[in-house]
Amino acid sequence: MIERRPSPPPETFLSHYLVPHRPVVFTDAMDRWEARTKWTPAAFRERFGSKLVQVYDDLFKLTSLSPLSQYLDRYFDAPPDAARSPGPVPYVRWYTRLRALDRFPWADEVFRQLREEWSLPPFLPEDGYLLPFCPPGRRISPNTTPFPARGLFISARGCRTRLHKDPWQSDAILCQLHGRKRFVLYEPSQAPLLTQGTEVVDLDAPDLERFPRFPEARPFVDFELEPGETLLIPQGWYHQADTRSDSISLTWNFVHQATWPDFARYLTSAPPQAELDTLTYFSGPHES
């Protein structure tokens, strides 16, 4: 069972969850946010329907750019037995800028418009971040400062994010604002059963010739994240998410100095160039 509890103070969050890499759900972290009531599909359609968004497959492959209203019209509120075209249901991952790429529909302007409607969850520290880099004494918060992989995830029932682990040896926060998602989490020690080089097994269609040890793998938890709940996905953990009802999530990743030994090991393990490029991008000052 996933641990569910009210938000602890940041010191407890660091010592009990972040440093030991223990997944947890906080039940009250968004209670004071206007976003909790305001960020509905209908309101987003009204406010941002004409904006172009980034549409992905069931992993992290960008497949198209589309106006948000077009995505919502086509995929939200589908009847339960709706015949859908084969292949994964497209998934809107509306990220803020991840690298030096202009002329792309990043969500930065939308995040500027939304910044008063949410704030730093009470369990998170205000300082001490390595990613994004936060100079000593400076306080930062994801509603005002760009964080890597910060985005609005807008996904219709049936969408899925296939099993993967996140880049940068980073921790992820996922705030479930609307709708429900099923999460399946595997501990990092299960990696030999789930991976072949950089490839990760597809839980829903495992290729046992490529992943012969997959039948030995055991998830740590398999649960549904409910609206109003906030999940910590610890660094190195493999996770899959199935959207169970039309959904809006807010998410971002970070590395805190409390996990510096893990980050140091990662940095010296020859990370992929694309990950290093993002680290370079987020090592400088960026305001949103």
Ligand X SMILES: O=C(O)CCC(=O)C(=O)O
> Please, are residues 230 and 173 in contact by the beta-carbon 8 Å criterion?
yes
- 198: Cβ contacts below 8 Å, ≥ 6 apart: none
> Please, are residues 229 and 27 in contact by the beta-carbon 8 Å criterion?
yes
Contact string (CB under 6 A) for ligand X, positions 160-179, x = contact: -x----x-------x-----
* 246 forms part of the interface with Fe ion (CB under 5 A): no
* 97 forms part of the interface with ligand X (CB under 6 A): no
Site for Fe ion in 152-191 (CB under 5 A): 166
Identity of the residue, 153 or 263, whose beta carbon is nearer to Fe ion in the bound complex: 153
> Please, are residues 184 and 240 in contact by the beta-carbon 8 Å criterion?
yes
Identity of the residue, 72 or 171, whose beta carbon is nearer to Fe ion in the bound complex: 171
Q: Which of Fe ion, ligand X, none interacts with 181 (beta carbon under 5 to 8 A by kind)?
A: ligand X
User: Tokens for 241?
Assistant: 């998410």
* 58 forms part of the interface with Fe ion (CB under 5 A): no
Task: Pick the binder of ligand X from 97, 150, 178, 181 (CB under 6 A).
Answer: 181
Q: Which residues pair with 242 in a beta bridge?
A: 160, 182
Q: Which of ligand X, Fe ion, none interacts with 150 (beta carbon under 5 to 8 A by kind)?
A: none
- 25: Cβ contacts below 8 Å, ≥ 6 apart: 2, 3, 4, 5, 225, 229, 230, 231, 232
Q: Which helix (H) or strand (E) holds 224?
A: strand 221-225
Site for ligand X in 137-156 (CB under 6 A): 153
Residues that bind ligand X (CB under 6 A): 153, 161, 166, 174, 181, 239, 241, 249
Residues that bind Fe ion (CB under 5 A): 166
